[in-house]
Amino acid sequence: MNALSWGAVEPQLPILLVVIPLLGALLTTFLRNSFMAWLVATVVAFTLPFISIHLLVSVLETGQPIVYKIGNWEAPFGIVYRVDQLSGYVLSVIAIIGAVIMPFARRSVAAEIEERARSWYYTMYLLCLAGLLGIVITGDAFNAFVFLEISSLATYVLIALGKNRRALLAAYQYLIMGTIGATLYVIGVGLLYVVTGTLNFDDLASRLSAAIIDPGQRNAVVTALGFIVVGLSLKLALFPMHMWLPNAYAYAPSFATAFLAGTATKAAIYLLVRVVFSVFGVGMTLENLPIGEVVIVLSIAAMFLASISAVFETNAKRMLAYSSVAQIGYITLGIAIANQAGMTGSLAHIANHAIMKTALFLALGAVFYRVGSVLYSDISGIGRKMPLTMAAFAVAGLGLMGTPGTAGFISKWYLAVAAIDDGMYSVVFLIVASSLISVVYIGRITEVVWFREPSKAAAKAKEAPLSMLIPLWLLVGATIYLGFDTRATVGTASEAAKMLLEGVQ
């Protein structure tokens, strides 16, 4: 591509980030050959990290956000796409995870999805990916709701198409809870529109400053904040609004579980951070509201209670699902502490957890591909038959525990520093104590797969195919690498945290 053509394309990159997967989804609907559908989805998925990383690098170099006006309509009358340090960072995480897992998808989807539904499955994947990217890149509160629903509707299908009959029930539970969450969010957005007459995030922030002077309007704004926070907390599975997540992750097809664990809750967390800090954080004083204290309590509850639930699970996917609820607690803890170290640790953990948890679910997906089960009784001794797969699982598990030398340690270190900076020394102890519980549930499954005699199912297994091992080990390699070189995660997260805490628009 010559300089002239690149000069014409570069300004369109923000819209292409959403349009390309939407067009890919449209194309796969006409394909009945599952290999061709996978190929289209793979090509589309691998273009997105290049776009998102280019946008992020441009923002970091210039220090200025990239604003794309759809239809050339000026905000707040038109919808704008906006890429800054935070959105560029989360866009890159989602796009990279979406691309890395695609080589794994071909065999996994072929094994777990009926032939007639495979092309549609890739269509739903691309729609979900487009929706998640749209949530992050849009600068409009209602447009975020639209993308939230696009990704959610596609997600319900991704879960429901699993061969396990419980997948349908899990999808239905997720549909009910997801719909409630989305409804609460849009009610909050509606209240903000009544008060301010705008839906643009930047315009909302500026107009809320005047709106809260009037006591009547302030009450409406606080009510809107409550609806939005609770609605998005349902979407991101903040304890105790997490009950949809364990079944959704446990009974969804392996590819869907790995994809959703690394991306879906991260987009919801982004939207919560964006609204609370960039909109309400500029327009009103949150110190007078007990939001931070409530979220800290719920986060700590998640860290302990979800981890304890994971200890007693005998289904490996459900164990990791409860672990995800606990890890979300770490992310929301730093957000609630709301200082530089806390925000840096939380935002860094968005990427670190996405990498580690996707790797863990890919490993279990490879086991399911060979054994047809992830029950502890069926996968005992599987490490002797699938040593590369389970070695990768063990390394990613070390990251999840927060072992020094892994990405997971870096996140928890910053969260501990954040608690110390705010004089919350008991929280430091709780972070360490909850991490020790993860040692128990990761240690338990490690004992099952490595130190027991192979079960009848495991005895017939063999190592996962290369197309599954390569993406798995790429993510495991990233788990180790990002434990030493933190520029891509902590460096970028620190810039995003500084922007949020300073109220930079």
Residue 288: what pLDDT?
63
Q: Which residue matches tokens 């890739």?
A: 122
**For the residues 132-154, what does the mean pLDDT come to?**
90
Given a cut of 90, is residue 2 above it in pLDDT? no
Report how far residue 77's alpha carbon sits from residue 85's, in angstroms, rounded to the nearest whole number. Answer: 24
Given a cut of 50, is residue 53 above it in pLDDT? yes
Tokens of 65: 């956000």
Tokens of 52: 């998102």
Residue 350: what pLDDT?
92
**For the residues 20-41, what does the mean pLDDT come to?**
89
Residue, of 256 and 6, whose pLDDT is higher: 256
Report how far residue 261's alpha carbon sits from residue 25's, in angstroms, rounded to the nearest whole number. Answer: 21
Given a cut of 70, is residue 83 above it in pLDDT? yes
Q: What are phi and psi of 76, to 5 degrees?
A: -95, 5
Report how far residue 176's alpha carbon sits from residue 253's, in angstroms, rounded to the nearest whole number. Answer: 20
Residue 504: what pLDDT?
44
Residue, of 264 and 291, whose pLDDT is higher: 264
Residue, of 248 and 162, whose pLDDT is higher: 248
Residue 202 CA to its chain's centroid (Å):
24
Helix axes 201-211, 215-236, angle to 10 degrees: 140
**pTM score:** 0.92
| Contact present, 21 and 129 (Cβ < 8 Å) | yes
Q: What are phi and psi of 380, to 5 degrees?
A: -60, 135
Ordered alpha helix ranges (H), 75-140: 85-100, 102-112, 118-137
**For the residues 47-70, what does the mean pLDDT come to?**
89
Residue 215: what pLDDT?
65
**For the residues 97-102, what does the mean pLDDT come to?**
93
Given a cut of 90, is residue 451 above it in pLDDT? no
* Beta strand spans in 360-443 (E): none
Given a cut of 50, is residue 308 above it in pLDDT? yes
Tokens of 271: 């939207």
User: How high is the mean pLDDT of the chain?
Assistant: 86
Which residues touch 423 (CB under 8 Å, ≥6 apart)? none
Residue 87 CA to its chain's centroid (Å):
13
Confidence of residue 282 (pLDDT cuts 50, 70, 90): very low
| Contact present, 149 and 134 (Cβ < 8 Å) | no
Query: How far, CA to CA in Å, does 134 sit from each of 19, 105, 232, 352, 477?
Result: 10, 23, 16, 22, 29
Give residue 325's identity as a one-letter amino acid code: V
For residue 47, count CB atoms less than 10 angstroms from its CB and return exposed for 0-12, middle for 13-18, buried for 19 or more: middle
Residue, of 292 and 44, whose pLDDT is higher: 44
Residue 96: what pLDDT?
93
Given a cut of 60, is residue 211 above it in pLDDT? no
Across 221-230, 239-248, 360-369, the highest mean pLDDT is recorded for: 360-369
Residue, of 290 and 187, whose pLDDT is higher: 187
Residue 294: what pLDDT?
85
**For the residues 284-295, what does the mean pLDDT come to?**
68
Report how far residue 50's alpha carbon sits from residue 48's, in angstroms, rounded to the nearest whole number. Answer: 5
Grouping H, G, I as helix, E, B as strand and the rest as coil, residue 284 is coil
Grouping H, G, I as helix, E, B as strand and the rest as coil, residue 373 is coil
Report how far residue 341's alpha carbon sits from residue 423's, in angstroms, rounded to the nearest whole number. Answer: 13
Residue, of 102 and 292, whose pLDDT is higher: 102
Residue 213: what pLDDT?
54
Report how far residue 301's alpha carbon sits from residue 321's, in angstroms, rounded to the nearest whole number. Answer: 16
Question: DSSP per residue over 431-470, as a string?
Answer: HHHHHHHHHHHHHHHHHHHHHSPPPHHHHT--PPPHHHHH
**For the residues 356-362, what does the mean pLDDT come to?**
93
| Contact present, 385 and 366 (Cβ < 8 Å) | no
**For the residues 117-140, what does the mean pLDDT come to?**
91
Q: What percent of the chain has pLDDT over 70?
A: 95
CA nearest to 382, candidates 399, 366, 359, 405: 366
Summarize pLDDT for 394-448 with one digit per residue, the tens. Answer: 999 999 888 888 988 998 999 999 889 888 888 889 989 988 998 999 999 998 8
Q: What DSSP designation does 75 have?
A: T
